[in-house]
Structure 1
Amino acid sequence: MALALPYLGIISYCSGDYNPQKGGFELNINPSKVVIIGSGFVGSSIAYATLIQGLCTELVLIDSNQDKAEGEVMDLSHGLPYTSPMEIRAGQYGDCRGANVIVITAGSHQKPGQTRMDLAQQNVEILRSILNQVLQVEQKAIFLLVTNPVDVLTTIARTYPELKAYRVIGSGTVLDTARFRYILGNRCQLSPGNIHAYVVGEHGDSEVPLFSSVSVAGTPISLLCRECSGLCGADYQKQVTAEVRKAAYEIINRKGATYYGIGLSCTRILRAILHDERSVLTVSALLDDQYKELEVALSVPSVLGKEGILRRLPLSMDDAENEQFLKSVQTLQESVRQVKFK
Structure 2
Amino acid sequence: MACAISILLREFCDELALVDVMEDKLKGEMMDLQHGSLFLKTPKIVAGKVDVLTYVTWKLSGLPKHRVIGSGTNLDSARFRYLMAERLGIHPSSFNGWILGEHGDSSVPVWSGANVAGVNLQKLNPDIGTDADQENWTETHRKVVDSAYEVIKLKGYTNWAIGLSVADLIESLMKNLNRIHPVSTMVKGMFGIGDEVYLSLPCVLNSNGVSSVVNMTLTEDERAQLKRSADTLWNIQRDLKDL
Report the TM-score, using the length of structure 1 for normalisation: 0.62
Q: What are the equivalent positions in structure 2 for 1:12-31 lying under 5 Å apart?
A: none
Gaps of 5+ in 2: 127-132
139, 149, 163: which one aligns with 1:249: 149
Residue among 204, 229, 232 paired with 1:328: 229
Given candidates 55, 63, 77, the residue that maps to 1:163 is: 63
SS in 1 for 2:150: helix
Deviations 1:253-299 (A, max 9, x none): 22221121111111111111111111101111115663563431111
Which residue of 1 is the match for residue 2 of structure 2?
Answer: 45
Query: How many angstroms apart in 2 are the aligned matches of 1:332 and 1:47?
Result: 27
- The alignment status of 1:54 with 2:11, answered yes or no, reads yes
Counterparts in 2 of 1:79 and 1:218: CA distance versus 1, 3 Å: farther
- 2:215 matches 1:304: no
Q: Give matches, 1:130-169, under 5 Å.
A: 153-160=53-60, 162-169=62-69
* 2:60 counterpart SS class: coil
| 1:169-194 CA distance string (max 9 Å, x none) | 11111110111101001101111112
Q: Is residue 2:194 matched to residue 1:237?
A: no
Q: Which residue pairs with 1:217 in the alignment? A: 117
How many equivalent pairs are there? 236
Distance apart, 1:307 and its partner CA: 0.8
- Counterparts of residues 1-342 of structure 1 (less than 5 Å): 44-65=1-22, 67-77=24-34, 85-92=41-48, 107=51, 127=52, 153-160=53-60, 162-222=62-122, 234-286=134-186, 290=190, 293-337=194-238, 340=241
Range with bigger deviation, 250-259 or 72-81:
72-81
Answer yes or no: is the 8 Å Cα contact 1:286–1:296 preserved in 2. Answer: yes
Q: String of CA shifts for 1:210-248, please: whole Å, max 9, x gaps.
A: 11101222222346779xxxxxx7242220121111121
Contact map agreement 1:165 1:287 (CA 8 A) in 2: no
Return 71-80 or 245-254, whichever deviates more.
71-80
Matches of 1:65 and 1:204, distance apart in 2: 24
Task: Judge conservation of contact 1:211–1:237 (CA < 8 Å) in 2.
Answer: no
Contact 1:278-1:304 within 8 A present in 2 as well: yes
CA separation of 1:224 and 1:73: change in aligned 2, threshold 3 A: farther
Q: CA deviation at 1:305?
A: 0.7
Stretches (4+) displaced over 6 A: 223-226
C-alpha root-mean-square deviation of aligned residues, in Å?
Answer: 2.8
**Structure with bigger gyration radius:** 1
Greater relative CO (CA pairs within 8 A, separation 6+): 2
Give the secondary-structure state (helix, strand or coil) at the position aligned to 1:298.
strand
Give the aligned residue type for 1:336.
Q
Contact 1:301–1:312, Cα closer than 8 Å, also in 2: yes
Q: Which SS does the other structure have where 2:212 is aligned?
A: strand
Query: Separation in 2 of the partners of 1:252 and 1:89?
Result: 29
| TM-score of the superposed pair, with normalisation by structure 2 | 0.84
Q: Structure 1's 223 and 82: CA in aligned 2 closer, same or farther, altered over 3 A? A: farther
* Ranges in structure 1 where 5+ consecutive residues have no aligned partner: 1-43, 94-105, 108-126, 128-152, 227-232
